[in-house]
Amino acid sequence: MKIIFVVGARPNFIKIAPLVEEAKKYPEISAVLLHTGQHYDNEMSQVFFDELGLPAPDIYLGVGSGSHAIQTAAIMVEFEKICLAQKPTVVVVVGDVNSTLACSLVAAKLQIPIAHVEAGLRSRDRGMPEEINRVVTDALSDLLFTTDEEANKNLIGEGIPESKIRFVGNVMIDTLLKFKKRAGLESKITISNPDYAFVTLHRPSNVDDAGRLAKIFSVLFEISKAIPILFSVHPRTKKQIDNYVCQNYFYYPPVETGAPVILKNALNIFRPLPYLDCLNLMAKAKFVLTDSGGIQEETTILGVPCLTLRKNTERPITISQGTNELVDVEPNNIIEHTKTILDDRWKKSSVPKLWDGRAAERIIKIIYNQYAKNGSE
């Protein structure tokens, strides 16, 4: 049987790595790794392949950036050619990026079975492009692998047959648990400050809205008076920072010398961090502020308080069981939660069910059992 594993953007690489590794344990499976090129530069793509031990992509589409329509269409045109030539038994897509949607649309129209890893997550906010990608991909998929039981309920509520749904755990946590110790040993960046906050920010709803972004920077600057902030800056956000009028908010510490980095009481700007550096620095942070979905999950496993700069989340289990809280961009709300963390009064958390490092094992076994016979005919 032949499986095409689709990746396109930074979060995909972390999720696909354990799946490709597990598939290699089955002699009957021919695993084809396809990279659409949605994220394409070294800091957002190649470094993840290097650190996670992913093989070089068997197929690289190289679609690059563009509007949602342009990018999705470009992926569809190229992926259709691949499917017609490769004739895969099943296409595996992960997450909720444009590559996920585009390849699912192509596979569905060619009547190739689709397995969606991380299915059923819902924010109920159609203003998020990712929410549209999730809903459409789930509607097209033949196997829907969920990270928690709330996702199962979402899918059933949308009319997805229970026979298609499999609760398997979280592949992102597979990768985290595998690399957590190594991250501490191999991280190239060490911070001299005993306490600091870790920040990521990339969603268009925050970054491209001048009013929201100004509010975020203002409150982060206030927080930095109490604790230094390490700000790992996404390329999209970096463009906005370069144009921002209040440049005195930002400090660019030298991080290439190998010496421990001394953070100032400011927004200390770092380039996009490789996975091991990011994991290590998050694990040692006093708390995290983010608008990333994956980081809400990672901080839950790391036991690090997380403040999510959004009005909603597709990962409510990180709030009900984990370390996460939604704070939107309301200054008083953010400051109040920050004080609670700095006073060591943050809520207790627990590890969600099946977030045990074995999700990929379950997923590949299910795919193999369902499609191996068809693949060998």
Catalytic residue positions, numbered: 202
CA atoms of 38 and 173, how far apart (whole Å): 23
Residues 6+ apart with CB under 8 A from 120: 138, 144, 146, 147, 150, 151, 152, 154, 155, 165
Neighbours of 81 (CB within 10 A): 12
- AA letter at 129: P
Q: How far is CA 279 from CA 90, 126, 244, in A?
A: 32, 30, 28
CA atoms of 372 and 377, how far apart (whole Å): 9
Provide the sign of the torsion angle of the four alpha carbons 86, 92, 98, 104, taken in this order. Answer: positive
Neighbours of 310 (CB within 10 A): 21
Length of the chain: 377
CA atoms of 271 and 197, how far apart (whole Å): 16
Could you say which DSSP state residue 175 is in?
H
Residue 24, token pair as written in the block: 């290699």
Query: How many CA atoms are closer than 13 Å to the CA of 76, on its beta-carbon side?
Result: 15
